[in-house]
Chains A and B, each alone.
Chain A
């Protein structure tokens, strides 16, 4: 068992990346994830790694494309407006099937928005964001320890599926300090015979590319990607359930809001209300089947988000009309109190609908 140390979420991600074997980081400062960029600037030279502060988020993600295509474990990080700039590159990375880890410590939007925590990039993270039919694997930790563990997992999944993996946190997780330990992955490193490394005696050149000008070939490439995504959906769904066995109402929340939701659920339980919770850890692939199964038992669902309602669409798809799905959310960097969430739960039990927003 490794020693526990107190670390800030953003910095813990950086150290976890190093533990995962990442030796190339390309990024650009933006609040509230800048500590990660700063941490990498300090640590990478100490482990003979490369830290490069790019001229923009656009350049940073394309440096990631180059380094990933050259066979390295590579990471970049940013916050919402910066991730929007990276979307072009992420689409290319998905198209060229390059393993890369992209961290988004979300803040409020749209536009320049603010610098306080939000979860309003859910659509962008899970539905593509860039152009074309593609998916990032999206991991949503809810503690500093889980930020460490999912960062290490992110590198393994990226290599395994040759796919971009997004670590989706928010400003609160990035800024909070908690004790953590670093347990290296037991997954064996994967060979990358497809990487462009220079021929070095190889007969056929390796080309890293997302261009397929012939429609037949591009369709085949898209079919291949969709088959890969189907495999990810079948094998990589991760979630946590709490008090779901007898629950009449199921809260659905991820990341920081799942911590608030948990407090509210505990209080409601003490008050005799049969409330449970499902916390997605992978937002894509979304835990659709477990939610569908719960729809056969529970009477209603309540989605809690730091947005105007984005994940609720996936919850509704999973529940597929079987039961009502209510929503409670705050936005702009506002964080609901456990008391406010408890009141929503109590209202549903009293037969009142949860407020839509705010």
Chain B
């Protein structure tokens, strides 16, 4: 009889994801669930799902969860954490949810040093509404609402969320990772784990920005999308740890 060395994390239900082929949400869900398993905190985990493609995240996670209104997940998580200070509370948000409509909520949750963790999935486009420009869409990027390519004159510049939040005193761990290669995936999981550990030790707010792909709305194959992420997104959104509780920004 062979030993079982790999299995579904306890934090994920045994149901199929609805995500498109090549989308990174499935991998990110799994990494979050693995980390909660490894930290043995599934029993006190409370997730807050966003509006967007991952609106149904609570259908996949196997622990208590909330569905929040557009952008309001950090405020909802604040209410939850203030009632249950010992719970492990996290928000799971996309770029439209976090960097556009919910910009105030994430900035102030970080400024307060709210003891929550935010998983920020940045794929530089609005996924669920069908491929419109996001605050994180790159200059020149063609979307359904920037059909001639995003222009700085008309639409301004892409928001660098990690750099912005790292300036706030209450933010204690800010990192940007990607999961386009096995090596980056390992680093992403380590960052997610670090952010949760920091919450559990009560230090303050943590955010992990995860650059990810949207082959469907980018109009690419999954392989082309991974290449575009590496060649176009990472140069504008450099990977790395922007702030740690041990002190100092990168």
A residues neighboring B (CB under 8 Å): 24, 26, 50, 52, 54-56, 58-60, 62-72, 74, 88-89, 92, 96, 196-201, 205-211
Contact = CB atoms under 8 A, between A and B. Distances in A.
Most B Cβ at <10 Å: residue of A55, A62, A74, A209: A62
A59 B72 contact: yes
A210 to B, nearest CB: 7
A194 to B, nearest CB: 10
Contact of A208 (B66, B83, B88): B66
B65 interface: yes
A63 B78 CA distance: 6
For the complex of A and B, 3 pairs with smallest distance between CB atoms? A66-B79, A62-B75, A67-B79
Contacts of A200: 43-44
Contacts of A89: 69, 72
A333 B77 CA distance: 38
A199 B82 contact: no
A129 B23 CA distance: 38
Contacts of B42: 199
A158 to B, nearest CB: 15
Interface string B101-112: 000110110000
27 contacts: A24-B79, A24-B82, A24-B83, A26-B79, A52-B82, A59-B72, A59-B75, A60-B75, A62-B68, A62-B75, A62-B76, A63-B79, A66-B78, A67-B80, A69-B66, A70-B46, A70-B80, A74-B83, A96-B67, A197-B84, A199-B42, A199-B64, A205-B58, A206-B64, A207-B64, A207-B66, A209-B58
Contacts of B45: 198-199
B62 interface: yes
Given A59-B72, A62-B69, A211-B67, A197 B87 contact: yes
Contacts of A205: 58, 61-65
Given A65-B76, A205-B64, A198 B83 contact: no
A208 B108 contact: no
Contacts of A67: 79-80, 82-83
A70 B83 contact: yes
Contact of B64 (A65, A72, A88, A198): A198
A88 B68 CA distance: 11
B67 A208 contact: yes
A196 B46 contact: yes
Interface string B39-63: 0001111101000000110100111
A59 B64 CA distance: 22
Interface string B129-148: 00000000000000000000
Contact of B67 (A26, A63, A72, A210): A210
Given A196-B66, A208-B66, A66 B48 contact: yes
A23 B76 CA distance: 17
Interface in B85-113: 87-88, 104-105, 107-108
Given A89-B69, A200-B43, A66 B104 contact: no
A330 B4 CA distance: 76
A64 B79 contact: yes
Nearest to A199: B43
Nearest to B55: A211
A59 B69 contact: no
Given A198-B46, A207-B65, A211-B55, A62 B79 contact: yes
B76 A196 contact: no
A69 B43 contact: no
